[in-house]
Structure 1
Amino acid sequence: MNSIKNITIYLVLIMGLSVCSCSKDFLDEELKTQYSTDYFDTPEGIEELTVSLYGNIRWHFGYEWAYGITLYGTDEFTNANDLTNEMWNTYDNRLGPLGASPETGAANKNATSPAALWDQMYYGIASANTIIAKAPEVIENEQTRNRCLAHAYFLRGYNYYRLTAQYGGVVLQTEPAVGVVRNFERATEEECWEQVISDFRNAYELFEGEVFTYGKGITWTKATAAHFLAKALLFRSSERNDSWNSSYKETDLNEAIEACSYAIGARGALAGNYSDLYANWTGVDSEAEQLDEILMAAGYNADGATKGRFGNRTYNYFNPQFSSFSGGWVQRGVWIGGMDFQRCRPTEYSYAVFDHVNDARMWKTFKTVYGANNVPEQDLGVETGDPGIVMILNTKDDNTYNNYNFGAFVQNPDWVDTEGRLPEWKLGGRQTPSSGSLTSEAGQWVPNSLVLYQNGEYVAPRFKNQPICNFFAGINKTDDGSRTAEKGDAHRDVTMARLAETYLIRAECYVRLNQYGNAMNDINIVRERAQWKSGENRSYYSDGSQAFENNSLNTGSAAEKYINSNLNMNTYYLSNPDIPVTTAASDLMLTSFPDNLPEEDEAILARIGASGSYDRALNFILNERTRELLGEWQRWETLSRTGTLIKRAQAFNPEAVNITANKHELRPIPQSFIDGLLNEDGTNLSDAQKSAWQNPGY
């Protein structure tokens, strides 16, 4: 798709802060030093280094840290039966400065270290520092020089944003460090946000409007810088910084509104259909990656430069363990767009926050039906291509399924459970993608079935516990049917910022300025796109599995498994049994704000005790962010920023039992970094000095 994706990444051997142990693997496996550092005294070298900055952001999606530090331990996602990063969700004592290993109680060697983000962000910062220092000296052409500087300021600002959002005050290294430096001062959080905002302002001024320097769909532009400038200003003025930010708030919020307004005006309207953002991904360099709504993405394609150690692995993390609990009726493979690694299990809140009838985003995001692609020889009345897994996402007040037996497939000689009953559900009707209605095939047996509520009680986690539920409706935003191996790298870009969030950022700024009417207008723009359109088939479903149609592996038995697995249907009508089949448009428009909110929001606000106009408005926006941005790699920082992490995790994440106020709003500073520090005279830090470096509670 873009030339940027085909350029080998070069990183400077000026690491500055890389004194911690986990850097070694990266240097050994990934660092490619085709040129000496003298090359960066040339215009060509600086521009090549500028292009390499895009490679630094791919790190975020190459391994388990993608979800561990961004989604776990929040109101939206909890862990399933896989316990790789369990400590990031439960906040137990394994989440500490040393990191967790099998020797210290981790489930395996893949647990994310708190040093992971720290190390990688400083690699990118080192490259940006070199560009900022050298570009004015070695590049005469003003346009080229400004492009390089804009990219460097943006990447440095973004990396410091991520560091400060996670750790609080960090080391501010803004000049190239020669050799290995081991004595640093830790900046305050106030100083860090000033640096982040300064870098984004510089990038915003230097970018040439919406000029896609290195290829549309991935290149950072003025709108990208505007979006993140607004995020940084909003962060500085948010609750986590209330002990020192009072003098900034009004000015920051107004500047953030101006920045958002530029991005919105420059990029135009949102994509017309929510499915276009994720569900309609059809293969490498898909049109879905070219949408004007996308402000920033980590770029991947079939080129070797986007594979390997930090290739896109995000397709692994959101599906349930379907091949296991289904008893083999639904086998995993490249024909299904996601692997069944069951890392991120939606909480009850993540289902309940939606209007199940009128919000199309729910049914364009959750995968609720898998076709049986491996039917055993026993005659059980199911054929390949019949529903093999069906998940009914009903609401708490629905009593339709109170007396039904649901469950995962039980494989024993009598095909029954220990009480002599078939645990699997009989379908009351089957949905087809063409008719959008239920067929007359009532009583069809489904080997695996799930419902959210029976008798007003949330029962979904009970249907397959071993000991934690691995049977749930996952989300489809990372599905990739273009993979050429079951566990191969994905080829689709990962969206990191888009215009719908810009509207919600601006709406939150308006709320903080008590301009609730303006906030409602921005929220309604996002909700308007979320409505069902007239003529739309509400029972139709698609995801990135469809890219398999253009996959060279789409032959023989694999082709059959693709057809039988992906039935292009959801459980909309089974989940809303009182709704007649319809193709009418729906309505999600707010008519008052923040009073008289939708029923689903009022229930959530009551659960967390939100009262008063500001508290209600802020928490409504947090709910709307879930509906629009579920799984998009930023929930933890959003809740930490707004001072709602503790309350919302305690209310909606049953596994986050050890989350502690005044501790877990920040991550631990990596002990490996602290232990590597020296005083100016070359002596080791004392225990008291080391303790002063660490965040409270760790």
Structure 2
Amino acid sequence: MKKILYIISVFTITGIFTSCNGLLEENPLGLATAESYYATPKGIEDGLKATYSPLRNFYGKEAGFFLTVTGTDMYTNGFGGATNNPDYNNYSQNFLGTSGYVKNIWDNFYVGINQANAVIGRAPQVEGISETERKRIIGEASFLRALYYFHLVQQFGDVHFTLEETQGVETEAKRTPVATVYEQGILPDLEFAIASLPATAAAYGQVTKPAAQSLMARVQLTIGNWSEAEKYAQAVISSNVYSLVANFGDLWEIDKELNPEVIWSVQYTDDPLTNSTGNQGHLFFIFDYTLNPALTRDVEYGRAYQRFMPTNYTLNLFDLTKDSRFDGSFQTTWIANTPAVINGAAVAPGDTAIKIVIHPVPDAEQKKVPYWLIDYNNKWVASVTDPLEIGGSNRRQFPSLKKYLDPLRTSVNAVDGRRDFIVLRLAELYLIASEAAFRQGKLAQAAEYINVVRTRAALPGKSAEMQVTEADLSLDFIMDERGRELAGEMHRWYDLKRSGAFLDRLRKYNLDAAVNVKEMHLVRPIPQAQIDRVTNPSDFLQNPGY
């Protein structure tokens, strides 16, 4: 597989120092600076690759998941989340600017922005490249700068905004209104990227024109430009470059990650020298199956951090009689890998050890079967005490999201997953187009878009039953459909905020968050370290309420 190698260029001076009569003489063997290196074709390409690098500190990382997946209607804290980082989900008074994950994404995204600014500012002076290549380099950096700013304004509201490379130390910052960041940064950057990027990438993982169009569709939907959102989504759909994978579950088979549905993904690799801590999504969405006596930790089933547990809303969201996406998204059966005795019966490797069902089961039946039969009684999952019920044993038992499982890790305890993280895929474009059409009153077109996704999701022989009509559509239905399709894919917090249903849905569906969540939580606290380090603190105030 061709992967982009993300390189952070470090400029150093190497020298030999000798002493003579008490004087130190420097004899430099090599000198590399940004001015000299970025002025070369290879240097500017390496600078561009470095602009991708901060994405790996968000996509597939715990900080990114806590700020996009949990604290929503779909996910609450599992045992590990409640133990380690409860405040992101619960919106408690301890969710402050000192919280590590808000600082993590703030710092990393500004590193990415400054690197993009450097590439965009320096590329016009590079000799030895064609104008087509120059536009591509600037176009990729513009896309990435737009993506970093898009996350920042959604997470924090008004943020520091600059399109110029920072060189040296700057100690002043000002909070620029969100609208200005869109108008002067995100939108023109994406327009340039769309005009400058090729339709296909020379190397897998590079940003392309369809990726820029897809992000533009997402941005336009976010700011309420419905016709523009539909236009850009439709441009990708009608390009015929991409197609939905026939079987939804195949999207998450690790040997099928190169597939025609993926428009753009953040690259990870099996090379430990370049993968760093890797895609760690495999850690966070699974429960500790090793509590079962017939199971020991293995590579296939993963290392369970138990951070995120699906809410009742998520468990109730799927019609299991016709929709393949619950089984395609969630693991509900575990096979024994060590001998044991369960309910008085001998269990051998290869036998069923755990089975989760999304309906009630009589206690007597649960005690008769030779495995853990975990049922669901639609009690609030975080209040369940029965160990054979979803949510039981203190948030430990729940269906595990399969989308990030990584059976190709090097060992049972390895955290450095190699799975690419899908950022843009075609199904989302259909859902964007559907919502945008619905908000324009184009109900028939909205139903047509959404039915494409639902047809792919249908169980065999159930396609007709999966179709919806104009009368079935509402914003709630569209949000539900996004939940069914995109569960756990780092969209949900943004979806709730964009839809205007953030407070209502959290208060209704996430009882851990319902007690504390307020209007102020539509933005995160500005990292306290950022406020402390500026020399004009009166121009850089904390978000209200924090």
**TM-score over 0.5 for the pair:** yes
| Cα distance change on mapping 1:181 and 1:589 into 2, 3 Å | same
Cα gap change, 1:35/1:471 in structure 2, threshold over 3 Å: closer, same or farther? farther
Structure 2, unaligned runs of 5 or more:
13-29
SS in 2 for 1:353: coil
Q: Secondary structure at the match of 1:363?
A: helix
Equivalent residue of 2:116, what SS?
Answer: helix
2:357 maps to a residue whose letter is: I
Q: Distance in 2 between matches of 1:658 and 1:98?
A: 22
1:649 to partner: Cα distance: 1.1
2:188 corresponds to which residue?
Answer: 198
Give 2:406's aligned residue: 480
What is the aligned partner in structure 2 of residue 349 from structure 1?
313
Is 2:119 the partner of 1:155?
no
Instruction: Tell me the distance in 2 between the aligned counterparts of 1:90 and 1:530.
Output: 32
**For the Cα contact (< 8 Å) 1:368–1:391, is it kept in 2?**
yes
Aligned with 1:80 (options 78, 81, 85): 78
1:90 to 2:90 alignment: yes
Q: Indicate how the Cα distance of structure 1 residues 659 and 227 shifts in structure 2: closer, same or farther if over 3 A, else same.
A: farther
Q: Distance in 2 between matches of 1:153 and 1:11?
A: 22
Aligned to 2:50: 52
For 1:305 and 1:295, the matched residues in 2 are separated by: 26
1:154 partner letter: F
Shift of 1:265: 1.9
Q: Distance in 2 between matches of 1:625 and 1:253?
A: 17
Question: Counterpart in 1 of 2:426?
Answer: 499
Alignment partner of 1:508 out of 435, 438, 454? 435
Tell whether the 8 Å contact from 1:131 to 1:149 is kept in structure 2 after alignment: yes
Residue in structure 2 matched with residue 207 of structure 1 by the alignment:
197
State the distance in 2 between where 1:377 and 1:530 align: 38
CA distance in 2, matches of 1:643, 1:483: 40
CA distance in 2, matches of 1:93, 1:495: 33
Query: 467-476 or 630-639: which moved more?
Result: 467-476
The one-letter code of the counterpart of 2:109 is M
The 1:585/1:466 distance shift into structure 2, 3 A limit, reads closer
Does the alignment pair 1:334 with 2:299? yes
1:565 corresponding residue in structure 2:
none
State the SS of the aligned residue for 2:340: coil
The aligned residue for residue 630 of structure 1 is 487
Q: Shift of the alpha carbon at 1:532?
A: 1.4
Cα displacement (A) at 1:345: 0.5
Which residue among 197, 217, 225 is the counterpart of 1:230? 217
What letter corresponds to residue 294 of structure 2 in structure 1?
A: W
Given the superposition, is the C-alpha separation of residues 234 and 291 from structure 1 closer, same or farther in structure 2, using an over 3 Å criterion?
same
Q: 1:585 to 1:678 in 2, by over 3 A?
A: same
1:184 aligns with 2:173: yes
**Equivalents in 2 of 1:335, 1:138: separation in Å?**
48
C-alpha displacement at 1:257, in angstroms? 1.6
Query: Could you give the per-residue CA deviations for residues 136-182 of structure 1, whole angstroms, max 9, x where no partner exists?
Result: 12144112101101111000000001101111111111101121111
8 A Cα contact 2:507 2:515, kept in partner: no
For 1:493 and 1:373, how far apart are their aligned partners in 2? Answer: 28
Counterpart in the other structure of 2:17 = none
Matches within 5 A, 1:517-536: 517-533=444-460
Higher normalized helix content (fraction of residues): 2
Residue 288 of structure 2, aligned match among 321, 336, 348: 321
Change (3 A) 1:640 1:306: farther
Q: 2: CA distance between counterparts of 1:296 and 1:94?
A: 36
Cα distance in 1, alignment partners of residues 456 and 469 from structure 2: 19
Q: Contact 1:662 / 1:697 at 8 angstroms: preserved in 2? A: no
**Which whole-Å deviations, capped at 9, do the CAs of 1:512-542 have from their partners, x for residues lacking one?**
1111111110000000000113xxxxxxxxx
2-side partners of 1:622 and 1:277: how far apart? Answer: 21
* Offset of residue 300 of structure 1: 1.2
Superposed displacement of residue 381, structure 1: 2.8
Consecutive unaligned residues of structure 1, counting only runs of 5 or more, are 14-32, 100-111, 238-251, 407-423, 428-444, 534-583, 598-615, 680-684
Residues 694 and 293 (structure 1), Cα distance of their counterparts in 2 relative to 1, 3 Å cut: same
Equivalent residues, number: 517
- Relative to structure 1, the CA distance from residue 162 to residue 620 in structure 2 (aligned partners, 3 Å threshold; closer, same or farther) is same
The verdict on how the C-alpha distance between 1:521 and 1:659 changes in structure 2, with shifts beyond 3 A counting, is farther
In 1: Cα distance, 2:466 partner to 2:278 partner:
40
Question: Counting strand residues as a fraction of each chain, which structure ranks higher?
Answer: 2
For the residues of structure 2 that align with 1:254 and 1:532, how far apart are their CA atoms?
33
Pair 1:425-2:367 in alignment: yes
Distance change in 2, residues 1:670/1:52 (3 Å): same
1:361-372 superposed matches below 5 A: 361-372=325-336
C-alpha distance in 2 between matches for 1:425 and 1:9? 57
Give the corresponding residue for 1:41.
39
Superimposed CA distance per residue, residues 49-92 of structure 1 (whole angstroms, 9 cap, x where no aligned partner): 11223322111145421311111110111111112221100111
Quick check: 1:254 aligned with 2:196?
Answer: no
Give the letter aligned to residue 270 of structure 1.
L
2:403 paired with 1:404:
no
Q: 1:672 to 1:405 in 2, by over 3 A?
A: farther
- Opposite residue 333 of structure 2, the aligned amino acid is V
Looking at structure 2, the residues matched to 655 and 587 of structure 1 have their Cα atoms a distance apart, in angstroms, of 38
Say yes or no: does 1:590 pair with 2:467: yes
**What secondary structure, in the 3-state scheme, does the structure 2 residue paired with 1:381 have?**
strand
1:450 is aligned to 2:374 = yes
Report how far residue 369 of structure 1 moved: 0.7
Percent identity (aligned): 30
1:376 to 312, 335, 340: 340
Partner of 2:9: 10
Q: How far apart in 2 are the matches of 1:345 and 1:300?
A: 25
- Normalised by the length of structure 2, the TM-score is 0.90
